[in-house]
Structure 1
Amino acid sequence: MANIAAVLHGANDLRVESIPLPEIKENEVLLSMRSVGICGSDLKYWMYGKCGKFTLEKPMIMGHEGSGKVVKLGAGVKNLKIGDRVAIEPGVPCGECRLCKTGRYNLCQSIFFCATPPDDGNLCRFYKHSAEFCFRLPDHVTDDEGAMLEPLAVAVYSCRKGNVGLGTRLLICGAGPVGILTMLVAKQNGATTIVITDVDDTRLALAKSLGADHTIKVMTNDPSKLATEILDTIGDFPDVTIECSGTNFGFSTGIYANSPGGSLVMVGRVPGGEEFPLNLAFTREIDIRGLFRYANCYPTALDLVSKGLINVKSLITHRFTLQETLKAFETAASRDSKAVKVIIQCGKN
């Protein structure tokens, strides 16, 4: 029962080291971790020691896209049994504030969220978590697929925020894992025209192979020119733009390209520091919608995977062991590796 974890001590200082075995509370379970995915936010913490408004102030265990196997139950746990394999929804809210009680628990100001300072993540051998936020995996759903439910939940939430449905013309900025998963969810929702943009040929090719109607490689620094190319490609304004690139360029492109009266959903966190065409957004009555994580999306994400409606395994390009965590992060960050989703399998030596 020795425990090890991938611990970030500062920017570019990631170490695999021994940590204590967690002691569980009444409504928690102890999990033997199986698969953990690397997310863009993980890379930002590793490279810069911060992500958005969150800054690393003490050593932190990495990992928030995870699956595990139950090895110990708290006295009050009724929904799980020892041996169950589960997907881990990484956010555990207080359950008592107004936001929690109205269903918007992702905005709870007291939420615990894996690998978000000051909270530790689950990139370790043994990890404890609230049983309420562990979702049992059917036998035919793999550990890797369980870990992929986290980015898929973001995609489900982004389509809900944009009201993506039958007949929607959709622009997705960014063909990373969340962008491609958003495309797959949108197709399940009935979107009829989907165009996705990126700077990377490999990711655009993957998006095309998985069903994107149009892919556009970004070859300009002028978002208005890219918007014109998008309009020429699909023959009309997109009804909805979902910005997944986390760039100022993507935000501006969404404003220039989007239909008057449409919506622009901000999944990525833009760095800011430059002007945006906001007056154009206002005069077109474009509804700019923020998105923070997700709420009440894991059951839907699990249904989509377990029923074979979305193949999340198609995004997994690399796998590493827990001891190879640093190599896994280097691979995920390297453009040359052509990585899309990197998975760390914690149960393998």
Structure 2
Amino acid sequence: MAPGSIIQELVSEQNTRSPTKTKSNLSFILNKPYDVQFAERPIPKISGTHDVLVAVNYTGICGSDVHYWEHGRIGHFVVEEPMVLGHESAGTVVDVGSAVRELAPGDRVALEPGYPCRRCIDCLAGRYNLCPDMVFAATPPHDGTLTGFWVAPSDFCYKLPTNVTLQEGALIEPLAVAVHIVQQARVRPGATVVVMGAGPIGLLCAAVAKSFGAVKVVSVDIVQSKLDLATELAATHTYCFQRNSAEENANALLAQCNLGKGADVVIDASGVEACIQTGLHVVKMGGTYVQGGMGKADITFPIMALCQKEVTVRGSFRYGPGDYQLAIELVANGAVNVKKLITGVFDFTQAEDAFKKVKEGQVIKILISGPNEHINGSLNAGIGENIRPTLDRVSEIEDG
């Protein structure tokens, strides 16, 4: 079937559905804090010969999405015009530019949502995540992926192996973040690693560190259910953070987890000042500390501990060359089970309910199905993924 006829079929079949699904490119749009709407947007057109048009199947809700929904801004990025939310997505290719050779209509892909200039010093040095002209989905003024169709450069669309589902594909984005953090930490076989925070990124950091050969992986959080999941996913030890001083928490953690004089690597995936302070007391002499979580713009931290131990400190931002490919390989070979992070899946028309659910703080990862997901059987014949997401399914998962 020709690409154009696939799009016509998508639109035609969608228009025969219920009133909530009659829009060919229904999008979830943030106008201002707590003010969202569903609106029809024109189906985007391929303008470059290396671009592809993708029907979005699933999108995960990130903490940044919720922050924009609540506050309308993150730092100096301010929502001044209506903006489509979402950036953790996987979808199905429906059309390709004339120069695209590696993808074809029907291919299932994970979408990398940030596109650099490719020409600046950082891009040419292989650090495109630091590109000053990055166009990143759902970062003002750019729209995100909670929509029916998305146009992207073909080299930022990663074909999924047949044993990786589209729902798993939507989690490649946060997994790539974790891969980049663990790469920054230079985790090697035999290492001891402490991960502060057991949210999605912290859990995935623990899993990636273990897949890299860490022999002891400690997950730290204040919520016991998240620590239980960490144990199920990858952690060899857990520590429930206490309302004590940073040094008291550090000493208790070291003793409880038999870390001796400290961990080889400490990764902060929380952004919480108390966790950062504790982490710098936990890392060993000459160890490595990586800041992956973002919190307050300015904090206090134990500078004496950092200096006297000659700690190597690195920041980590998004992901760079090779991170997406490695993330997909870790899922495909079973090294990281991202399915364990999925608390539930919401229908596209229930997107605002999904955001409210995430804000409650009792979930790990919520997915929203794309507005065209009900017809993707025609695009994904033989894949065997025909899930109808509902709120009832979310309740079923939570009730065990």
Aligned residues: 347
Higher gyration radius (CA): 2
* Alignment partner of 2:328 out of 302, 308, 315: 302
In the TM superposition, what is the alpha-carbon distance from 1:53 to its structure 2 partner?
4.1
* 1:170-213 per-position Cα deviation (integer Å, ceiling 9, x unaligned): 11000011111111111111101111111111111100122311
1:5 aligns with 2:35: no
* Alignment partner of 2:264 out of 235, 239, 243: 239
Contact 2:188 2:212 (C-alpha < 8 Å) held by counterparts = yes
* 1:198-250 per-position Cα deviation (integer Å, ceiling 9, x unaligned): 11111111001223111111121422211111111223201111100121112
Tell me what 1:17 maps to: 39
Tell me what 2:178 maps to: 155
* Alignment partner of 1:78 out of 101, 105, 118: 101
Tell me what 2:342 maps to: 316
Aligned-partner SS, 1:288 = strand
Aligned-partner SS, 1:260 = strand
* Alignment partner of 1:268 out of 293, 296, 308: 293
Q: Distance in 2 between matches of 1:268 and 1:53?
A: 18
Q: Distance in 1 between matches of 2:317 and 2:267?
A: 13
Q: Distance in 2 between matches of 1:177 and 1:197?
A: 13
Q: Distance in 1 between matches of 2:312 and 2:76?
A: 24
User: What percentage of residue pairs aligned between the two structures are identical?
Assistant: 39
In the TM superposition, what is the alpha-carbon distance from 1:142 to its structure 2 partner?
0.6
Q: Distance in 1 between matches of 2:82 and 2:134?
A: 19
Q: Distance in 1 between matches of 2:286 and 2:184?
A: 15
* Alignment partner of 1:174 out of 173, 197, 209: 197
Q: Which amino acid aligns with 1:71?
A: V
* Alignment partner of 1:290 out of 307, 315, 333: 315
Contact 1:319 1:345 (C-alpha < 8 Å) held by counterparts = yes
Q: CA distance change for structure 1 residues 48 and 98 in 2, over 3 Å: closer, same or farther? A: same
* 1:123-147 per-position Cα deviation (integer Å, ceiling 9, x unaligned): 1111111111001112221111111
1:341 aligns with 2:333: no
Q: Distance in 1 between matches of 2:182 and 2:299?
A: 27
Contact 2:233 2:337 (C-alpha < 8 Å) held by counterparts = no
Q: Which runs of 5+ in 1 are unaligned?
A: none
1:1-349 aligned at under 5 Å gives the runs: 1=11, 2-26=24-48, 27-235=50-258, 236=260, 237-296=262-321, 297-335=323-361, 338-346=362-370, 347-348=372-373
Q: Distance in 1 between matches of 2:208 and 2:240?
A: 22
Q: Which amino acid aligns with 2:223?
A: D
Moved more, 83-92 or 12-21: 12-21
Aligned-partner SS, 1:294 = coil
Contact 1:155 1:182 (C-alpha < 8 Å) held by counterparts = yes
Q: CA distance change for structure 1 residues 98 and 284 in 2, over 3 Å: closer, same or farther? A: same
Q: Distance in 2 between matches of 1:341 and 1:214?
A: 22
TM-score using structure 1 length? 0.96
Tell me what 2:377 maps to: none
Aligned-partner SS, 2:171 = helix
In the TM superposition, what is the alpha-carbon distance from 1:52 to its structure 2 partner?
3.9
TM-score using structure 2 length? 0.84
RMSD, aligned CA: 1.3
Q: Distance in 2 between matches of 1:72 and 1:239?
A: 47
In the TM superposition, what is the alpha-carbon distance from 1:85 to its structure 2 partner?
0.8
